Amino acid sequence: MAKSYGTVSAEQKLKMSGLAFVQGLASGALPLNTIARTLGYDVAEAERGRVVVTLVPTDAHLNPAGTVHGGLTATLLDSCMGLAVQSMLDTGTSQTTLEFKISLVRPITPDTGPIRAEGRVLNCGRRIGTAEGRVTDGKGRLLAHGTTTCLIFPS
């Protein structure tokens, strides 16, 4: 199914579990957020407690030094980790990032080729969820990693 971009109405989201929502993003049944179109990333895989976001770096992502801007890497990590937490939530519950930390390990350039950011839940309680994320290249080399803390609340 072709991916579309936009927002999911609050009414529609209220009827879905977190896992159904995230799987809808991955399958194309639901629209990806518009920042995904702007930056060129995709939600590629989604299961309970784990989400993968993919991107092919291009010249459009470069900072003045000629490497992919760290903000793009931060966005990929924030997305995969936050969606991993979302995948654990019951119907009528949402989450938002309270804080996250990332470490950039290797430079990313268009020559790096496709990259994947994989988020995995570490713990998900009633009010707080935590997750970790890893960005790797096609050879499995670690490019960046991070952790997040998300606030869980009724929608």
Beta strands at 50-55 and 41-47: parallel, antiparallel or unpaired: antiparallel
Q: Which residue in 29, 33, 69, 67 sits closest to 53, CA to CA?
A: 33
**Residue 128: predicted pLDDT:** 98
Single-letter amino acid, residue 34: T
List, in order, residues 6 or more apart from 33 with CB less than 8 Å away.
Answer: 5, 7
Q: What is the structure's pLDDT at 42?
A: 98
CB 132 within 8 A of CB 81: yes
Cβ-count burial of 94 within 10 angstroms (0-12 exposed, 13-18 middle, 19+ buried)? Answer: middle
Per-residue pLDDT for 1 more than 90? no
pLDDT at position 2 is 81
Tens digit of pLDDT for each residue in 98-147?
Answer: 999 999 999 999 999 999 999 999 999 999 999 999 999 999 999 999 99
Gap between the Cα atoms of 68 and 71, Å rounded? 8
Give dist(CA 149, CA 155) in Å, integer. 18
1-5, 45-49, 125-129: the lowest-pLDDT one: 1-5
Do 152 and 127 contact (CB within 8 A), yes or no?
yes
CA distance 47 to 131: 14
pLDDT at res. 67: 97
**Contact indicator for 39, 55 with CB cutoff of 8 Å:** yes
Percent of the chain with pLDDT over 70: 100
Tokens describing residue 108: 């990313």
Taking residues 5-30, report their average pLDDT: 96
Residue 116 β-bridge partners: 54, 136
Structure pTM?
Answer: 0.97
78 band by pLDDT with thresholds 50, 70 and 90: very high
Mean pLDDT of 77-94: 97
